[in-house]
Amino acid sequence: MRIAIANDMPLAVESLRRALAAEPQYELIWVASNGEEAVRRCREDHPDLLLMDMLMPGMNGVEATRRIMHDTPCAILIVTADVERNMTQVFDAMGAGALDVVAVPSLGPQQLLDGAAIRRKIHNIAWMIGHKASRSITPAPTKTSDPRGKRLVAIGASAGGPASLVELLQQIPADFPASIVLVQHVDEVFAAGMAQWLASESHMPVRLAQEGELLQPGEVLLAGTNNHLYLTAEGRLVYRREPADQVYRPSIDVFFNSVASHWRGDAIGVLLTGMGRDGARGLKQMRERGFHTIAQDQASSAVYGMPKAAAALDAAVEILPLDKIAPRLIQRLS
């Protein structure tokens, strides 16, 4: 896997070099010290993955990510020294198309632990680029609740998702008569911050989905752990580790498949921008169950991977630009 680094801090670059050197299949092809150089080098020698810092002199990581994803798209992993302080920029970069975020590995006593963390992220992204298919699971039963007559909007997103989710939620009124469940590819470390950020931009309350809870209309729940969120036959949300080999954590396919299998009310599936194929098969299952399904169109997608896969499977009843999706949801469910 050909990997590049955009970072102006020599110590950070050295720690990343050491983390990559532990895996012989990773080849470091170049290092850029600022955003402008990263954009240029991506044109000249296109990497499979770019490790992008947020705070660089001149063009910062957010703008560099935006330009690279527009001109010469590649997988981008945000690597920053202070994730919490840079949370807004991190979500902006993910909205522009970055796939994930991780802290810079330390050169101190925790080197092995930190090195393992970034290598795990890189391994997951390599899996995404490989476009491996996911598989469904059979949820185990819990306490009983009957969701018949209720309405659910299940939304999946990955690269470019945070900004797309904000734009969509801003158009949905506070009295929206359905439950909304979001599955965004984001590490559990950042899920709570993302829920708070989405809540600040939404007319509806947004919070993390809790183990065992029932869906209620008028609220937005975000998958909040690295385990998979899915719906049981009794209408409760639960988190499960299996399938353990599923690299997308949480997986959109796992949740969509559970909705197709167990939801007894009305439902709409929505697949937004993202790299790879996660969610496409699950959306197809929802359509075959008779639920309405929507995929974001290419022009409005930051990364046209997952919606493209859904279109190829004929999983979407409608393919719509982002600004038309919320009005369509309101029209169908109000």
Catalytic residue among 114, 134, 185, 301: 185
Catalytic residue among 15, 134, 136, 158: 158
Q: For tokens 């992220």, what's the residue? A: 121
* 158 assigned to active site: yes
> Token pair for residue 292?
């309405």
Cβ contact 269:283 at 8 Å: yes
Q: For tokens 């801003």, what's the residue? A: 170
E-strand ranges in 194-305 read: 206-208, 220-222, 228-231, 237-240, 266-271, 292-296
Catalytic residue among 278, 292, 300, 301: 278
Spatial separation of the C-alpha atoms in residues 103 and 5, rounded to whole Å: 14
Cβ contact 301:275 at 8 Å: no
Q: Of 130, 128, 68, which Cα lies nearest the Cα of 275?
A: 128
- Residues recorded for the chain: 334
Q: Which residues are catalytic?
A: 158, 185, 278
